[in-house]
Structure 1
Amino acid sequence: MMFNQKSIQLIVAVAVFLAFNVCVRNIAEAATITDMAGRTVTIPDTVRKVYAPSPYGSYIMYSVDPSILAGLIFPIRDEDKKYFPKETQNLPVIGSLFGQGQTANTEVLLKTNPDLLIMWSAKRSAINEKTEESLKKLNVPFVYAVAESLSDYPDVYLFLGKVLKREERTKQLSAYCKKTLDEIKVTVNKIPAEKRPSVYYAEGMDGLSTECNDSIHVELLELAGDKNVHRCHTSNHKGFEKVSLEQVILYNPDIIVAQEKVFFDKVFNDPAWQNVKAVKDGRVYLIPRHPFNWFDRPPSFMRIMGLKWLANILYPKEYKIDMVKDARDFYRLFLCVELSNDEMKRAIYP
């Protein structure tokens, strides 16, 4: 097929026009933001699909908008599927990209074609250069949400709302978090330190693992009065500090909050634990864990409800709430699920 000079000029002109329009469209469809780590990032103006390759980021996205998730970091347990839309349940399991327990399938991740990765950091100054270099190789823009403590969650929600254009929803979630944190602070401040009950956090099947008072895994205890009996400096992020039963007896806590149902179910009938005040007084409580743990492992947005639960246990006269009603309201707002009173009771008191 032959082209004359005019035809060639026309083709070139059309090609230049189309290329220009593509560039203009790309510019128009891009937005420049500053993420919570202070990085300037260019992201798509409209984010249709995201992936958060850590439990913290992945879980918070369930509350922001699970419909835009590209995949899951962990499979959803059968007993928890009722808390999620069918579309979310059927997403591919991609896993975690970095850190301990790295399981991510980068091939599956790239096949899902996310517009954006939401990274999570516990410190603004702790962004890892090697991690950044690895992320850049994926050729997917990424932003950092930063939460040094639960008190940062209101700001994290506002940041994600801005990035994902879900501002109306995230303002509601942020306001709920802030209101709860403020309520607990006011309640605790009214109670002298010496009148606050002491607490032992029982982890493991035998209840003989716990956390130092400065660990992220017991941040709720700090916010609810800072009466964790195990006073020490945490040895590592993983936690699970081993203690002896003799040490727990010496601590003689007023209250025990338990992570494992196996331990909870046997502690009241175990002769070895009968000399512990919390056991004698019947004040051992199993932490709710559906669909995510209210207290820890991983620390997530569910701790906002967990903080209300804990404050009500520690200060039932000063912090009076209808636990079932408040939990139903929380699940309705954060997870968009409507539970009956009986369903909610089973989740709180398994």
Structure 2
Amino acid sequence: MDVTRRRILQGLGGLLGSSLWPNLTMASTASQLSMFGQVPSAAKAQRLISAGAPADMLLLALAPERLLGLASFDLGGDYPWLSNKLTALPKLGRLAGRSSTLSLEQLLALKPDLIIDCGTVNDTFRSTAERIVAQTGIPYLLVSGKLADSAAQLRQTGAVLGADARAEQLAQIAEHILAEAAHFADARGRQLSFYAARGARGLETGVAGSLHTEAIELLGLRNVASAEHQRGLAPVSMEQLLLWQPDIIITQEPSTWQHIQTSPQWQGLKAVQQQQVLLLARFPFGWFDSPPGINRLLGIRRLQAYLDPSLQAGFKAEMQQFFAAFYHSELSDAHYQQLVEPQLVNA
């Protein structure tokens, strides 16, 4: 057993104590932050509003005690693997994206010190930030949300919030997962192809290079749905799937998984015949998107453990520490089994 693997399998540590994740501190490169308005000092940034789902993930990890609520998630349902502090956070609605569900009147009534959004940084999102600052006077921080830049996002946003120590620990975990993914991609990942099944019949997918499949592609797997001038989601025909014959099919929807397993149309795919249809159901956060935030780091590691049997024995401890660090929640063995174990072992 090599040194890195031995360290991964060591016991759990506290949030700022011992860790399963090796110290892989790297210098942050370009700034991930765009600031609009007068961003307050860390000491005065005590009341935070998340503008969208990826920012929910970032702020749950870095400063859940300062969050006034979540933009896109209602955690008041049956999520016993999340701490009471998280499930008590109300769903406030989104400020960013295609349609805002949090009105400016509601926003002003909450009296936040700072709005934080995370995701694509383009003219549309810059314009949203500028408009909200002009209309409300509330400063706005826009964080670039590329998965490969997760460590820099965490460190730089943590510095703004005065949460440097917590951000550093999370950034080291992110760096380790991404470095291990790159190693797997070079060693094995590029030998495998995949199809990400979405929709009731599984005939919608994320095109190569999209946010929906970015996490899987970082492991080197080849997305069979590739279109030179298209990104995002696209419909797929069964005839095309039969020609593609992906090595593995991945879905986050139980109903989609059930349809693929039972529909006669899907039985012509070798991945179905060989039981290589992987269900990674949301908990409520997705593993690979929904949202496309730092939650995807855990999805990368889970898929790598599925594909590499040598990682499976240590994955439970890794996932439990990820929950402690990023979700401030204690994941019991029973809840781990409920979320993961039925689909972890590679058939």
TM-score normalised according to structure 1 size:
0.81
| Aligned with residue 270 of structure 1, among 249, 257, 263 | 263
Q: After the TM superposition, list the runs of 4 or more consecutive aligned residues in structure 1 that deviate by more than 6 angstroms.
A: none
Kindly provide the amino acid, as one letter, of the partner of residue 43 in structure 1.
P
In 2, Cα distance between the equivalents of 1:117 and 1:57? 10
In 1, Cα distance between the equivalents of 2:75 and 2:234? 28
TM-aligned CA deviation for residue 50 of structure 1 = 0.5
Query: 8 Å contact 2:53–2:71 — kept in the other structure?
Result: yes
Query: 8 Å contact 2:36–2:139 — kept in the other structure?
Result: no
TM-aligned CA deviation for residue 341 of structure 1 = 1.3
- 1:78 alignment partner in structure 2: 77
| Aligned with residue 102 of structure 1, among 97, 100, 103 | 100
In 1, Cα distance between the equivalents of 2:143 and 2:221? 27
* Higher RCO (CA-CA < 8 Å; seq separation 6+): 2
Change (3 A) 1:93 1:105: farther
Change (3 A) 1:231 1:104: same
1:334 maps onto 2:326 in alignment: yes
Moved more, 112-121 or 159-168: 112-121
- 1:22 alignment partner in structure 2: none
In 2, Cα distance between the equivalents of 1:77 and 1:270? 34
Residues 290-309 of structure 1 aligned to structure 2 (within 5 Å) = 290-309=283-302
1:261 maps onto 2:259 in alignment: no
TM-aligned CA deviation for residue 38 of structure 1 = 6.7
TM-aligned CA deviation for residue 177 of structure 1 = 0.2
1:343 maps onto 2:335 in alignment: yes
Query: 8 Å contact 2:81–2:330 — kept in the other structure?
Result: no
TM-aligned CA deviation for residue 192 of structure 1 = 7.6
Q: Secondary structure at the match of 1:299?
A: coil
Query: 8 Å contact 2:217–2:223 — kept in the other structure?
Result: yes
Q: Which runs of 5+ in 1 are unaligned?
A: 1-33
TM-aligned CA deviation for residue 324 of structure 1 = 2.2
| Aligned with residue 216 of structure 2, among 211, 217, 221 | 221
Kindly provide the amino acid, as one letter, of the partner of residue 280 in structure 1.
Q
Residues 152-171 of structure 1 aligned to structure 2 (within 5 Å) = 152-171=149-168
In 2, Cα distance between the equivalents of 1:38 and 1:268? 48
Q: Deviations over 1:3-30 (max 9, x none)?
A: xxxxxxxxxxxxxxxxxxxxxxxxxxxx
Change (3 A) 1:309 1:91: closer
Kindly provide the amino acid, as one letter, of the partner of residue 97 in structure 1.
L
Q: Secondary structure at the match of 2:40?
A: strand
- 1:249 alignment partner in structure 2: 242
Kindly provide the amino acid, as one letter, of the partner of residue 254 in structure 1.
D
Residues 27-66 of structure 1 aligned to structure 2 (within 5 Å) = 36-37=33-34, 41-46=38-43, 47-66=45-64
Q: Deviations over 1:31-50 (max 9, x none)?
A: xxx87137684414412111
Moved more, 138-147 or 160-169: 138-147
TM-aligned CA deviation for residue 229 of structure 1 = 0.8
Kindly provide the amino acid, as one letter, of the partner of residue 331 in structure 2.
L
Q: Secondary structure at the match of 1:120?
A: strand
Query: 8 Å contact 2:48–2:115 — kept in the other structure?
Result: yes
In 1, Cα distance between the equivalents of 2:178 and 2:275? 28
Change (3 A) 1:41 1:232: same
Structure of greater Rg = 1
Q: Deviations over 1:27-84 (max 9, x none)?
A: xxxxxxx871376844144121110111111221111121101122132250226513
Q: Deviations over 1:252-301 (max 9, x none)?
A: 11110012101212422322211101110011111231131111121121
In 2, Cα distance between the equivalents of 1:346 and 1:192? 27
In 1, Cα distance between the equivalents of 2:269 and 2:127? 48
Kindly provide the amino acid, as one letter, of the partner of residue 115 in structure 1.
D
Query: 8 Å contact 1:305–1:327 — kept in the other structure?
Result: yes
Kindly provide the amino acid, as one letter, of the partner of residue 168 in structure 1.
A
Kindly provide the amino acid, as one letter, of the partner of residue 200 in structure 1.
Y
Q: Which runs of 5+ in 2 are unaligned?
A: 1-30, 343-347
Query: 8 Å contact 2:288–2:296 — kept in the other structure?
Result: yes
- 2:20 alignment partner in structure 1: none
In 1, Cα distance between the equivalents of 2:293 and 2:154? 12
1:287 maps onto 2:280 in alignment: yes
Query: 8 Å contact 2:76–2:87 — kept in the other structure?
Result: no
TM-score normalised according to structure 2 size:
0.82
